[in-house]
């Protein structure tokens, strides 16, 4: 091999080595920053730890955490029931159905969750006579129900778009193969298209659940005593900043537990794909 050939071969290896070294240095710096932040937070907890304060307000915050879990879990389940037909409507051949579903998704994905909560909570009062005639005022007069209604519509829009993208990502050859086998459209959807689409949608769907958990803090603004609501109440009575630190730890623990469970679920449902790759 000539000197020129050796240089051509060794140059990419040198560049790869430098890139790997730079990435390693950056990773170590980021890790050191996280460790430093964790140290100061831990020190803040230890220095400012007050057993009387924790015993008084921590049980209320745990109760608020349970309200947050209930609110998000119910909204995710109800949103999924709406998202499935909405995702099918997004790909429907009828332009009216497709346009209406697009408008719904566009509105709830394009406006802040806080504004949506205000529209439902404060806007329902403007239509109180109409809602009373329909027998719905008892539902909309409760702040928890308004938050649940808002979160459901919001996450349904995101889930519908995730599922629509996953369905569109399935290769058209799957449709052609099902048609060649004489399978109907409904059977093709249920047996072939949706199982593949659900696997593709697993990761973004998990991210949407995490986003909803973190976004659920807006429920406290419309007087729902979830985790953030109880935290604000505790701070207004104690003026102790550590209460927000405890709330942050609870949110972090909830999100991290969900992330790990979701990773295990995804690994379980996609294990056949990894075997195929091997």
- On whether the 52-277 domain is CATH 1.10.1660.10, my answer is no
- From the CB of residue 158, how many other CB atoms can be counted at a distance below 10 Å? 21
Q: Which residue has the tokens 């389940």?
A: 77
Residue 22 has pLDDT above 80, yes or no: no
Structure tokens at 118: 């205000």
DSSP-derived letter for residue 111 is S
Tell me what pLDDT residue 275 has. Answer: 60
Structure tokens at 249: 């730890």
Residue 184 has pLDDT above 90, yes or no: no
Structure tokens at 19: 């890139």
Domain boundaries, the chain: 1-47, 52-277
Q: What is the mean pLDDT of residues 201-213?
A: 91
| Backbone CA torsion sign across 245, 250, 254, 259 | positive
Cα angle for residues 227, 230, 231 (degrees, 5° grid): 85
* Percent of residues, the chain, with pLDDT higher than 70: 85
Interval 166-179: pLDDT, tens: 888 888 888 788 88
Average pLDDT, the chain: 84
Q: What is the DSSP string of 128-164?
A: HHHHHHHT-HHHHTSHHHHHHHHHHHHHHHHHHHHHH
How far are the Cα atoms of 13, 36, 41, 240 from residue 47, in angstroms, in the given order?
A: 51, 16, 10, 13
How far are the Cα atoms of 42, 69, 113, 160, 182 from residue 219, in angstroms, in the given order?
A: 28, 12, 10, 23, 50
How far are the Cα atoms of 87, 93, 107, 184, 255 from residue 97, in angstroms, in the given order?
A: 11, 8, 16, 22, 36
Q: What is the mean pLDDT of residues 210-226?
A: 91
Q: How far apart are CA 60 and CA 226, in angstroms?
A: 10
Interval 227-265: pLDDT, tens: 999 999 988 888 888 888 888 889 988 998 999 998 888
Phi, psi of 273 (to 5 degrees): -70, -40
Tell me the Cα Rg of the chain: 25
Candidate from 19-23, 140-144, 238-242 with smallest mean pLDDT: 19-23
CB within 8 A of 75, min separation 6: which ones? Answer: 148, 151, 152, 154, 155, 212
- 3-state helix vs strand vs coil in the chain, percent to 5: 90, 0, 10
In contact, 198 and 159? CB cutoff 8 Å: no
Q: How far apart are CA 159 and CA 204, in angstroms?
A: 9
């Amino acid at each position: 091999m000539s000197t020129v050939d050796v240089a051509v071969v060794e140059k990419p290896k040198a560049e790869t080595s430098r890139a790997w070294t730079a990435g390693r240095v950056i990773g170590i710096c980021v890790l050191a920053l996280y460790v430093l932040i964790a140290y100061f937070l831990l020190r803040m907890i230890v220095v400012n730890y007050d057993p009387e304060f924790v015993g008084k307000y921590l049980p209320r915050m745990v109760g608020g955490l349970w309200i947050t879990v209930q609110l998000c879990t119910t909204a995710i389940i109800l949103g999924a029931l709406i998202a499935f037909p909405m995702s099918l409507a997004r790909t429907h051949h009828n332009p009216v159905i497709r346009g209406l579903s697009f408008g719904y998704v566009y509105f709830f994905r394009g406006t802040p969750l806080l504004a949506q909560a205000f529209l439902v909570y404060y806007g329902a009062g403007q239509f109180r006579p109409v809602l009373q005639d329909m027998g719905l005022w008892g539902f909309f007069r409760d702040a928890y129900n308004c938050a649940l209604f808002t979160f459901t519509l919001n996450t349904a829009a995101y889930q519908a778009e995730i599922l629509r993208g996953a369905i569109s990502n399935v290769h058209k050859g799957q449709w052609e193969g099902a048609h060649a086998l004489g399978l109907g459209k409904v059977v093709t959807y249920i047996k072939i298209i949706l199982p593949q689409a659900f696997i593709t949608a697993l990761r973004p769907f998990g991210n949407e659940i995490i986003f909803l958990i973190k976004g659920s803090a807006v429920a406290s603004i419309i007087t729902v005593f979830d985790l953030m609501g109880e935290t604000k109440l505790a701070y207004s009575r104690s003026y102790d900043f550590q209460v927000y630190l405890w709330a942050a730890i609870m949110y972090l623990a909830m999100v991290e537990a969900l992330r790990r469970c979701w990773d295990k679920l995804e690994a379980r449902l996609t294990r056949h794909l990894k075997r195929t790759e091997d």
